[in-house]
Amino acid sequence: MTVTYTRNKPVRRPLPEHLPREVIEHDIPEEDKLCVCGCMKQRIGEEVTEQLEYIPPDFQSLLMFAPNMPVIAAMRQFSIAPMPSLFLPKSMATPSLVAHAIVSKYEDHLPLYRQEQIWARLGVEMPRNTVCGWIMAAFEVCLPMRAALLDYLIASNYLQADETTMQVMDEPNRKNTTPVICGSIVTTLSIKSHSF
């Protein structure tokens, strides 16, 4: 099999200008603003991280600034304010937006193509494959918690499951499927009952 075309590289689209923007500035600690030679570092620019946040029923853009401050005399020492660790590095999605997409998809049974349409009506063009990538990355982040919950379930004295079924929408060239969604109740010696 020979591929006769080249794929276009995905390009991140800028967030729409009409979104309200909240600016968050992370400053450099005072002790890092001073050079070892005693002179003050001058601000020459900043690193900007822009993320998309969902505040029901609307979106806003978070702009996080981290100033760059080199020593003017030496021009070899830079101090950059530490940015907060991101839930999904190199992603414009905030935890609230990813949580909203996950709850909408799995709890409200709202497929990603419909979420894409809803967001477009709100003025945000976000491809569903991008949102799907966020959901898969969030799953990877949550794997240690999932493992701990499974260990807790396996170590329990009593386990009861509710195997509720749900019809999955039909897709072209595929039959409808009916997966099982499980809820469980666990009982241990110290805890009478606990539900997940």
Any residues with CB less than 8 A from the CB of 110 and at least 6 apart, and which? 104
Q: Is 26 in a helix, a strand, or coil?
A: coil
Provide the pLDDT for residue 73.
Answer: 56
For 100, list phi and psi in degrees, rounded to 5. -60, -45
Residue 8 in tokens = 């276009």
Share of the chain above pLDDT 70, in %: 78
Provide the pLDDT for residue 112.
Answer: 95
Residue 171 in tokens = 């897709």
**Eight-state DSSP code of residue 85:** P
For 142, list phi and psi in degrees, rounded to 5. -90, 0
Provide the pLDDT for residue 28.
Answer: 83
Any residues with CB less than 8 A from the CB of 128 and at least 6 apart, and which? 112, 113, 115, 116
Provide the pLDDT for residue 136.
Answer: 95
Any residues with CB less than 8 A from the CB of 105 and at least 6 apart, and which? 111, 112, 115, 135
pLDDT digits (tens, 9 = 90+) for 25-44: 888 888 888 887 878 888 88
Angle at 111 between CA 125 and CA 120, to 5 degrees: 20
Q: Band the pLDDT of 195: cuts 50, 70, 90.
A: very low
Q: Does residue 23 have a pLDDT over 80? A: yes
Using alpha carbons, list the distances in angstroms from residue 190 to 2, 157, 183: 63, 10, 21
Q: Band the pLDDT of 101: cuts 50, 70, 90.
A: very high
159, containing H or E segment: strand 158-165
Extents of the domains making up the chain: 13-84, 87-155, 158-195
d(CA 190, CA 42): 60
**What is the pLDDT averaged over residues 64-81?**
68
> Taking the model in full, what pTM does it have?
0.57
pLDDT digits (tens, 9 = 90+) for 104-146: 999 899 999 999 999 999 889 999 999 999 999 999 999 999 9
Provide the pLDDT for residue 159.
Answer: 77
3-state DSSP percent of the chain in helix, strand and coil, to 5 = 25, 25, 45
123-156: buried (b, 16+ CB within 10 Å) or exposed (e) per residue?
ebebebebbeebeebbeeeeeeeeeeeeeeeeeb
pLDDT digits (tens, 9 = 90+) for 155-193: 888 777 777 766 666 666 767 666 655 555 555 544 444
